[in-house]
């Protein structure tokens, strides 16, 4: 697409967009009568119009059948999980039985650590990204202490080189190679929440395995955003949340991928609960944990069907749109934003997100050189919903399901006005 810096071009691109009608399936926030330009799908995705009816359907089923709703009604709750995994399998590139929809992200990271962080002798180190999302850092810290180790001895953080903002793949691979004799696990982000950098998960997994370690990923900012092929990349496990790009609501139910090679591995430790118990014999209520021989075997508790219903309403939209079409529009929107930013005469900012499209998803992070907070406040005031990350970063994420080229044009235009004011 040959970009132009005009609103006419942006409107023509929207008119030609094969996904343009999907925006109508979402509730676009309106504040003081003004429709907002919502660029925060990287934080909380917008509400699908179908969500309310999906929740109501569960409430009606509950009202009508009480506990029998598990077995009766339009969508019996007992098998509701199975209606979520086919769509998620396409989104994360997995086999449906490699996915369990359960809990929330930090809880699931802890659960995966129980199974996949198996320190043995001196092979007890974990490699992670420096400045990982704080919840991940707290997870590492407390989990490592639980084993009686000290985080300083166990965690190896790979950081950007001096003067650089993003982490070079070669430096990640070099760290894995250096620690190959004492490495237990590489647990990395799919896409860094601050810089927007996408990591080479295939290369990281390959290197971790070559070093005799396991590889897992936190896909909070990756699921529903970038292309993922977890099974093909041979990733051992991954966890994500569903409230960002997956539009499943605040505190939505999380997801876990566990490669099928682990499903029957009885040597793995896990924290178990009755919902992970073999379905055929669960209600015999007997002693001795027998796991379901899929990723569902990591479930602990009775799932929240209300959260499942909100998730299903959102996933249905992904099914209609298809991942290849979404990836193609994501790239175009992001490239347009990138190109417009390059045209600005005054650049009081550095773009933290890599230029290379393989290392970029929806999100673009602007490191503001001065008056960043004032620029952010003025954007918000004018209905451009972005976010501010201390000390000096504005993040914005045009999302292919509901954002438009015109919104991207107007945003960069507004930024130009503010930067030159
Ligand atoms: C990269 C990353 N990891 C972990 C979390 C924590 O997720 P949760 O609050 O669902 O546990 C977040 C939340 O935004 C995140 O962005």
Residue ranges lining ligand 1, Cβ < 6 Å: 104-106, 133, 135-136, 189, 193, 218, 220-221, 241
Query: According to the model, what pLDDT value does residue 124 have?
Result: 97
Residue 346: strand pairing partners: none
26 and 103 part of one domain: no
Residue 399 forms part of a structural domain: yes
Which atom of ligand 1 is nearest to 189's Cα?
1
Same domain, 294 and 334: no
Answer yes or no: is 107 within a domain.
yes
What is residue 149's predicted lDDT score, i.e. its pLDDT?
96
Output the CA 192–ligand 1 centroid distance in Å: 11
Whether residue 313 is found in the same domain as residue 389: no
Could you tell me if 59 and 148 lie in one domain?
yes
Residue 378 φ then ψ, to 5°? -70, -35
How big is the chain, counted in residues? 421
> Do 196 and 264 belong to one domain?
yes
* Contacts of 287-293 spanning 24+ positions with Cβ under 8 A: 293/263, 293/264
Of the residues 298, 319, 340, which one is the last residue of a structural domain?
319
- DSSP annotation of 192 reads -
- Co-location of 95 and 238 in the same domain: yes
| Domain identity same for 305 and 380 | no
pLDDT score for 347:
82
Compute the distance from residue 3 Cα to the ligand 1 centre, in Å: 35
Q: Whose CA is nearest to atom 16 of ligand 1?
A: 220
In the reported structure, the alpha carbon of residue 84 is separated from the centroid of ligand 1 by a whole-number distance in angstroms of: 21
According to DSSP, the residues that pair with 394 across neighbouring strands are 366, 388
pLDDT at 266: 87
Whether residue 2 lies inside any domain: the answer is no
Q: Is residue 1 part of a domain?
A: no
How are beta strands 183-189 and 214-218 bridged, if at all?
parallel
358, 382: one domain? yes
CA dihedral of 60, 86, 250, 53, whole degrees rounded to 10: -30
Q: Is residue 75 part of a domain?
A: yes
Q: What is the pLDDT of residues 36-72, one digit of tens each?
A: 999 999 999 999 999 999 999 999 999 999 999 999 9
- The pLDDT score that the predictor gives to residue 30 is 98
Residues 153, 22, single domain; the answer is no
User: Given this model, what pLDDT does residue 346 score?
Assistant: 81
In this structure, what CATH number is given to the domain that contains residue 385? 3.90.1150.10
Q: 21: burial class by Cβ within 10 Å (0-12, 13-18, 19+)?
A: exposed
Nearest-CA residue for atom 10 of ligand 1? 105
- Whether this prediction's pTM lies above 0.85 is answered by yes
Protein residue closest via CA to atom 5 of ligand 1: 135
Q: Are the C-beta atoms of 220 and 133 separated by less than 8 Å?
A: yes
CATH number of the domain encompassing residue 72: 3.40.640.10
Atom 7 of ligand 1, residue of closest alpha carbon = 105
| Domain housing 404 | 7-47+322-420
* One domain for residues 203 and 351: no
Any domain includes 100: yes
Low-confidence ranges of the chain (pLDDT < 70): none
Q: Please give the tally of structural domains in the chain.
A: 2
pLDDT in tens, 197-216: 999 999 999 999 999 999 99
């Amino acid at each position: 697409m040959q970009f132009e810096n005009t609103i006419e071009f942006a409107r023509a691109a929207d008119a030609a967009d094969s996904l343009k009608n999907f925006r109508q399936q979402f509730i676009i926030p309106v504040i003081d009568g003004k429709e907002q330009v919502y660029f925060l799908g990287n934080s909380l995705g917008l509400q699908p119009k179908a969500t309310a009816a999906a929740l109501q359907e569960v409430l009606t089923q509950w009202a009508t059948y009480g506990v029998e709703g598990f077995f009766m009604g339009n969508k019996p709750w007992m098998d509701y999980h199975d209606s979520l995994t086919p769509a998620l399998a396409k989104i994360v590139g997995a086999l449906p039985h490699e996915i369990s929809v359960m809990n929330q992200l930090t809880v699931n990271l802890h659960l995966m650590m129980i199974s996949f962080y198996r320190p043995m002798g001196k092979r007890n180190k974990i490699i992670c990204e420096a400045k990982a999302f704080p919840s991940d850092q707290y997870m590492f810290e407390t989990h490592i202490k639980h084993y009686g180790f000290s985080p300083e001895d166990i965690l190896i953080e790979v950081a950007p080189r001096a003067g650089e903002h993003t982490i070079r793949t070669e430096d990640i691979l070099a760290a894995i190679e250096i620690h190959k004799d004492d490495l237990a696990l590489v647990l990395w982000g799919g896409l860094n929440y601050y810089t927007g950098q996408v990591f080479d998960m295939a290369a990281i997994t390959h290197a971790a395995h070559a070093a005799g370690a396991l590889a897992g990923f936190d896909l909070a900012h990756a699921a529903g955003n970038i292309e993922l092929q977890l099974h093909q990349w041979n990733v051992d496990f991954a966890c994500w949340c569903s409230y960002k790009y997956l539009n499943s609501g605040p505190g939505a139910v999380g997801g876990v991928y566990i490669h099928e090679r682990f499903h029957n591995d009885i040597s793995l430790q896990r924290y178990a609960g009755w919902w992970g118990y073999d379905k055929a014999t669960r209600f015999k209520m007997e002693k001795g944990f027998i796991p379901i021989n899929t990723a569902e075997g990591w479930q602990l508790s009775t799932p929240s069907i209300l959260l499942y219903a909100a998730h299903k309403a959102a996933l249905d939209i992904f099914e209609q749109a298809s991942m290849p079409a979404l990836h193609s529009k994501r790239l175009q929107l992001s490239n347009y934003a990138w190109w417009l930013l390059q045209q600005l005469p005054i650049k009081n900012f550095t773009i933290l997100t890599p230029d290379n499209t393989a290392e970029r998803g929806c999100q673009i992070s602007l490191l503001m050189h001065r008056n960043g907070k004032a620029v952010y406040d003025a954007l918000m005031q004018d209905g451009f919903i972005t976010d501010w990350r201390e000390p000096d970063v504005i993040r914005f994420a045009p999302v292919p399901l509901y954002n438009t080229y015109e919104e991207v044009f107007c945003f960069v235009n507004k930024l130009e006005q503010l930067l030159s004011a």
